[in-house]
């Protein structure tokens, strides 16, 4: 099989490049170092931020991708918290009216929460999130207990003192034993355990297993009514979630008697708002850190240009000899360009390996997660070779443009 001429030339150029680089190994290593540091920083930063994004999305998935949350506070408007705090609470009556009047959601659930202690025998769990839900919470929030059952409509209406324990509370109090049928004391009141929730992990650094679920009316009776109620509306799909929001907004404005043109005194929240807020924060951090890391690549590129210019000067007679025996401008140009690309490419590969190693080492040693998307690896290698191409072009052109006679006379 006949090998194309350009393939032969490329192979010889690569061999010549490696010979030249090996001849000055220390200088080549120091030149490569800038590229290695830059690519290592870029890859490790991207891996860690991608890992954070994926972990955050998996955590907020528990809020439901097709659930609209009607609340007193806007999740994504933290700076306006003090303004929103002055809003009137959403009363239980208003929340029940909303749940009764909406037509588009497949289910609607009201909820409120408090924090207190739970005791069983001599064991005590402190700082437990006790959530009061309407019976539809089982559907809207996915609160199906694998052990026991959820409370019924009758139990909710009659304000029965029944409780579904979170996995963490069950583990802490009962240490793996069956809890169903036992009585625990929640904030001093006796409740009968009717179920145990599955393990759910944590979200925003807070455990989702350190909780207990009781009927909404029971919580209001035992722990006070001066609380703002949250309503979760389950849409049939994400395609109609905007329509659910519009319907909920219109009904809430009518219930709360908001005049036309006045701003809402309630908030409509959904999972995507938190994802977008978090992604905006990480992207800003990503841009700053990658910008700083890119300076290392710039320094590495300047180092490549400097070393290639020195190499052109040192090998001027060699260039003259090659041209005198028939080497063309493109042969000289290609030789020096390949040397520059080899330096940056090797630095990119080493930097990529180190970057991934650092990212996954941090993920193993700390709570920070890590992910290595293929596009990040491709970006790192492309960036490093682009630096070599850009900064190696001028020295290569200078070498290719030398006059053979002048080059042979050079001392």
pLDDT of residue 54: 73
- Rounded Cα distance between 43 and 142, Å, is 38
Q: Which tokens go with 245?
A: 């929001």
Q: What is the pTM of this model?
A: 0.65
pLDDT of residue 64: 62
pLDDT of residue 8: 64
Q: Using an 8 Å Cβ cutoff, are 338 and 385 in contact?
A: no
pLDDT of residue 339: 80
pLDDT of residue 360: 79
- 118 CB-near residues (< 8 Å, 6+ apart): 124, 125, 128, 130, 165, 169, 173, 184, 185, 186, 212
Q: Using an 8 Å Cβ cutoff, are 176 and 208 in contact?
A: no
Q: Which residues of the chain have pLDDT under 50?
A: none
**244 SS3 class:** helix
Q: Which tokens go with 290?
A: 């990658």
- Rounded Cα distance between 59 and 308, Å, is 50
């Amino acid at each position: 099989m006949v090998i194309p001429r350009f393939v032969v030339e490329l192979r010889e150029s690569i061999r010549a490049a490696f010979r030249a680089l090996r001849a000055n190994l220390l200088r080549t290593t120091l030149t490569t170092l800038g590229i290695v540091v830059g690519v290592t920083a870029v890859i490790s930063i991207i891996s860690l931020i991608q890992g954070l994004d994926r972990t955050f999305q998996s955590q907020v998935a528990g809020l439901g991708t097709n659930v609209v949350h009607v609340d007193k506070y806007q999740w994504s408007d933290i700076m306006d918290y003090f303004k929103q705090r002055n809003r009137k609470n959403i009363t239980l009556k208003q929340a029940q009216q909303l749940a009764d009047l909406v037509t588009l959601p497949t289910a609607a659930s009201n909820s409120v929460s408090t924090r207190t202690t739970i005791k069983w025998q001599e064991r005590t769990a402190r700082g437990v999130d006790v959530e009061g839900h309407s019976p539809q919470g089982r559907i809207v929030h996915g609160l199906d207990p694998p052990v026991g059952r959820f409370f019924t409509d009758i139990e909710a209406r009659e304000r029965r003192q029944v409780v579904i324990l979170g996995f963490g509370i069950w583990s802490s109090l009962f240490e793996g034993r069956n809890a169903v049928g036992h009585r625990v004391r929640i904030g001093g009141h006796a409740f009968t355990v009717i179920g145990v929730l599955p393990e759910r992990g944590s979200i925003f650094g807070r455990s989702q297993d350190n909780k207990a679920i009781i009927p909404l009316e029971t919580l209001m009776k035992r722990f006070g009514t001066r609380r703002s109620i949250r309503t979760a509306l389950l849409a049939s799909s994400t395609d109609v979630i905007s329509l659910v929001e519009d319907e909920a907004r219109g009904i809430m404005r009518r219930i709360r008697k908001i005049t036309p043109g006045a701003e809402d005194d309630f908030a409509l929240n959904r999972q995507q708002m938190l994802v977008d807020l978090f992604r905006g924060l990480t992207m800003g951090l990503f841009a700053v850190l990658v910008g700083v890391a890119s300076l290392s690549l710039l320094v590495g590129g300047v180092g490549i240009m400097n070393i290639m210019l020195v190499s052109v000067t040192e090998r001027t007679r060699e260039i003259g000899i090659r041209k005198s025996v028939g080497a063309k401008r493109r042969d000289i140009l290609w030789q020096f360009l390949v040397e520059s690309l080899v330096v940056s490419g090797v630095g990119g590969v080493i930097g990529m390996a180190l970057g991934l190693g650092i990212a996954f080492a941090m993920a193993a040693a700390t709570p920070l997660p890590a992910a290595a998307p293929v596009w990040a690896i491709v970006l790192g290698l492309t960036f490093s070779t682009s630096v070599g191409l850009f900064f190696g072009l001028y020295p290569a052109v200078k070498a290719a443009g030398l006059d053979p006679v002048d080059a042979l006379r050079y001392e």
